[in-house]
């Protein structure tokens, strides 16, 4: 073996488990239902799992697909697969079998690891792809049996920019693309998340965010880096979330605003204010002033984050300045709704025009968010054309439109393809949605453009009404008119549930389709 360099070690996020296995050996690393594992156990099990992977024929560079709920299994895979030198392919368990088959085939994974709740789907996928299957948690627990006798079979990371994981985008349109994560990026992003969330060995992180989504925004590794406790949630069950919040001293959780609304509207929220503060990270859509207020009342402070699968999750954070606390509730809510600034390890985030030039920081000129740096993907797996299109000049184009405020904080105005152009005027659907969401009867809303002979496009609102409430289109029109320009007021309202991706993003293309029909 080569002589190690004295001042160098490749960065890999599994280094954090290596450290916490020893430093926090006796502390609880993982709570998953009735099972708990100390860091000593978590570390030993992850090492044993490298041996299991080897026994299942997984070698360096091989892809291992994971169809797992938020569980100790998924956390173990997040360490064992990279420690084996292999590549993790986390699967979104809300996808249909056809979609899963596509991803497993495309990634070339030859092993699929599943948790028991997903065993039936996993069997179907394994059968159609020819992948070997390893199921954890069933009566004859293959996973535990294999672990029992396994000796570690680790392979050191020799290239920190080597492939760590392929995270398939949830795909609001078209085929999912495989976003290639590298060890260095996940390591640095995990440190950034630990820093911004002030994680420590006293942290208890509740897994309301799917671990399959951007590797749980890298908190799978960040919580481990801090030596905190992963409190797994196999399903987003509001009653269970509240039991955990009230009984388990939860300090942190993350989730899309839809998940936060679920928490805020659950029966459990009716109890007393939480005794200790909980830090909540949210992304995917700005938290509404109503939601922020509700969470503050529950002793939960919400931080707005922004990122994509391509950026290891939150590359942008609403880095809060204490002096802003002095503002009026409206000002605070407005500042909290901004996406923010590049995180501590991010290369400064840009907002650029069509020619790739920075837009002025005038809070008005909209441009596309463009990023590069250590927490940006290597590219799309086996799709050079898509990579080249997304990264035309070294800067990854996010597809999100934003303005830059004079203080440098950015605020998303819309998805590039979600801008509604009506009578030559741009309508930011986000702006209209934010107003609608402020109405007391509105649970959530989505605004899309539909073709119109006279105006080109007109905005149409899909509205989900809060249980026990009622509201008429006329009332909503009047409400919206109080806040924004008349041309932005939706021309029609459709009441009902709003379709979302598994990660809580509004599926506007579905709504557009419906509106056209």
Which residues lie near its own copies (CB under 8 A)? 3-9, 11, 15-16, 18-19, 22-27, 161, 182, 184-185, 191, 194-195, 198, 200-202, 225-227, 319, 321-323, 341-342, 344-348, 372-374, 376-379, 391, 393-396, 407-408
Distance CA(302)–CA(464), nearest Å, equals 23
Q: Which of 294, 292, 312 is nearest to 302 (CA)?
A: 292
Distance CA(453)–CA(88), nearest Å, equals 49
Cα separations in angstroms, 493 against 52, 234, 320, 418, 496: 55, 36, 36, 18, 10
Distance CA(373)–CA(185), nearest Å, equals 9
Tell me how long the chain is: 517
Distance CA(431)–CA(483), nearest Å, equals 10
Least Å distance, CB 366 to its own copies, is 19
Distance CA(181)–CA(380), nearest Å, equals 9
Q: Which of 362, 364, 483, 363 is nearest to 433 (CA)?
A: 483
Please state the φ and ψ torsions of residue 59, each to the nearest 5 degrees.
-120, 180
Please state the φ and ψ torsions of residue 274, each to the nearest 5 degrees.
-65, 140
CA count, 13 A, side-chain hemisphere, 432:
31
Q: Across the strands, what pairs with 302? A: 280
SS3 content of the chain, % helix, strand, coil (to 5): 35, 25, 40
Least Å distance, CB 90 to its own copies, is 19
Distance CA(108)–CA(506), nearest Å, equals 30
Cβ atoms within 10 A of the Cβ of 200, count?
11
| Helix (H) or strand (E) segment spanning residue 215 | helix 214-217
Decide: 284 and 504 in contact? Cβ < 8 Å: yes
Strands (E), 240-277: 252-254
Token pair belonging to 499: 């379709």
Please state the φ and ψ torsions of residue 121, each to the nearest 5 degrees.
-65, -45
Nearer to its own copies, 146 or 403 (CB): 403
């Amino acid at each position: 073996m080569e002589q190690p360099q004295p001042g160098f070690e490749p960065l890999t996020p599994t280094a954090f488990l290596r450290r916490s296995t020893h430093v926090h050996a006796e502390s609880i690393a993982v709570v998953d239902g009735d099972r708990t594992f100390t860091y000593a156990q978590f570390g030993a099990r992850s090492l044993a799992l490298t041996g299991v992977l080897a026994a299942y024929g997984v070698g360096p560079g091989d892809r291992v697909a994971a169809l797992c709920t938020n569980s100790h299994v998924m956390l173990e895979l997040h360490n064992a697969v990279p420690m084996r030198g292999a590549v993790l392919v986390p699967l979104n368990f809300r996808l249909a079998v056809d979609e899963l088959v596509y991803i497993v085939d495309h990634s070339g994974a030859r092993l699929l690891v599943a948790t028991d709740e997903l065993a039936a789907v996993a069997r179907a996928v394994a059968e159609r792809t020819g992948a070997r299957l390893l199921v954890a948690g069933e009566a004859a627990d293959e996973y535990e049996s294999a672990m029992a006798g396994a000796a570690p079979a680790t392979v050191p990371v020799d290239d920190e920019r080597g492939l760590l994981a392929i995270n398939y985008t949830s795909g609001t349109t078209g085929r999912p693309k495989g976003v290639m994560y590298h060890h260095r990026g996940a390591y640095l992003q995990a440190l950034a998340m630990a820093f911004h969330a002030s994680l420590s060995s006293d942290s208890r992180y509740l897994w309301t965010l799917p671990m399959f989504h951007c590797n749980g925004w890298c908190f799978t590794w960040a919580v481990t880096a801090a030596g905190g406790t992963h409190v797994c949630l196999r399903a987003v069950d509001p009653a269970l979330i509240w039991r955990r919040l009230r009984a388990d001293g939860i300090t942190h959780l993350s989730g899309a605003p839809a998940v936060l609304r679920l928490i805020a509207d659950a029966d459990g929220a009716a109890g007393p204010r939480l005794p200790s503060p909980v830090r909540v990270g949210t992304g995917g859509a700005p938290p509404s002033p109503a939601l922020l207020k509700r969470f503050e009342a529950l002793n939960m402070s919400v931080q707005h984050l922004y990122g994509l699968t391509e950026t290891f999750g939150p590359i942008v954070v609403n880095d809060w300045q204490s002096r802003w606390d002095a503002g009026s509730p409206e000002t605070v809510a407005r500042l909290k709704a901004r996406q923010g600034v590049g995180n501590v390890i991010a290369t400064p985030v840009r907002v650029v025009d069509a020619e790739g030039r920075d837009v002025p920081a005038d809070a008005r000129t909209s441009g596309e968010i463009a990023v590069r740096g250590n927490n940006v993907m290597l590219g799309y797996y086996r799709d050079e054309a898509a990579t080249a299109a997304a990264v035309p000049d070294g800067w990854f184009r996010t597809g999100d439109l934003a303005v830059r405020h004079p203080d440098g904080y950015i605020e998303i105005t819309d998805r590039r393809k979600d801008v509604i152009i009506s009578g030559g005027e741009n309508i930011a659907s986000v702006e209209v949605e934010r107003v609608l969401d402020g109405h007391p009867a509105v649970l959530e809303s989505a605004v899309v453009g539909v073709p119109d002979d006279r105006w080109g496009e007109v905005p149409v609102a899909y509205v989900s009404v809060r249980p026990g409430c009622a509201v008429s289109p006329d009332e909503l029109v009047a409400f919206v008119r109080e806040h924004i320009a008349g041309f932005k007021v939706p021309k029609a309202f459709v009441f009902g549930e709003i379709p979302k991706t598994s990660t809580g993003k509004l599926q506007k293309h579905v709504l557009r389709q419906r509106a056209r029909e």
